[in-house]
Structure 1
């Protein structure tokens, strides 16, 4: 898995490479990667481990993000639990910054409708410094033939009540071997837009999946994206983990998100959250 991202403003490039290793019994997967910026050659390393419980109803995720310049580290950990009938999944996690020891907690619930055609997601992100909260809600709908899924949602911040809307479409090819996703995020205040596109390809035996994407901001066109996917296919249950690293001009912000999907009964439960912490202690979404 490798990817190169170029900035249109200064033509600087960021390269990403990573390795995915599976344990013998498929119960553990480790992921490591390196992100390098061409301008100052500074690098950030990311590593993580995904472990499954015996009955596949719980999965724990932990990881560390380290920046080479100041050796500051941020740790992320979380747990996803499924109900007995797979209709409800809860997710909770904590993001800690080693520099100022500030923490942000995330919790949410994913519920499936009776016929599995729709799923609703809601969650809350709280920052320990100022106790400000951001709420997220959305709906995921599947078509009858499962070939397309549309998602829409709203993100609100408790401090200034500004809202951002997101919409996207996931289209599966006929043989389920490839899936393309695209979406647009529009901020209500300045109407600036961020577009995201990517492609997900499955190998023939469904044992591996690669994902690449580009995130562009309409204002200054500066962006950095990093993503990876882990999949387990022993009993048709899949678990995916992805992370995104964004560096602002002052190198003070980093965002990370994770997604866990189970697909044993052809129903997928996915939840993702993104948080950015700047060194002043403020939370940006």
Structure 2
């Protein structure tokens, strides 16, 4: 993968393009896109195409994002084409801001092949006058045989912004029962601890799944630990996740480690890595290892990010190496901004 992002001298225009190519044995899949800003930055367009080889049938993706001159309206449209047996899916939508930008409405349409009919989506996001709360509501309507799905939620901040609560409801039609979602994020007074919890409940025939987690900072904020638990029904057992991110005293390096534990028959994959900055913070290197159970072997990943002295350009390269039976994959890219070039 390679790509370049260039700004004009006055930073009024920017163009982005990239290409992704697979090897011959996996056939050719190419991706390209461009992001252009006009002189007044009032119009931005984005487009891309993904093409598969003949033996995998043809899947093309393209899209466009346009802003109006006053940036009050943004429209998006795209088309996704699968092979003949998957037919065509088209999607279009519009995001409109109110004059005071206190509210935003979103509407769109998703059309599938004849046997799947069409689905339309609309919603509204409103902020309170003091912007301490935001409410969101929306509706997704399927064809006649699929009925409708409604979604609504509210995000509220406390006066000191130490706590935020999120509540919402996702309702299915009668034949699929109901699923409700709620959660709360609380900060401690010194903002050293943040807790998050929520519950996702399915209908009786699908049992229940609950989610909770905690993020804790150390007193000097040099380390943070995160843990959580996802529980499925009895036949799926449980999966727990934990990890730690530690900074060095001068914050020049950070190490991360974690583990995801499944039930006994799923084994345990572990992940660890290190991010190091150079003294002048002009370069950063990253390395890590992801280990699966014995029958899955291991994969290692490393990369580097280098800045020029004047920070006008940055280059990035990396390599992802699999075990012997998986061969190797390499990744590289370049980010350039006009100015003196570094070697």
Provide TM-score, normalisation by structure 1.
0.50
- Rg comparison, structure with higher value: 2
Greater strand fraction, Structure 1 or Structure 2: 2
Which structure has more helix as a fraction of its residues?
Answer: 2
TM-score, scaled relative to structure 2: 0.42
Tell me: higher relative CO, structure 1 or 2? Use CA pairs within 8 A at least 6 residues apart: 1
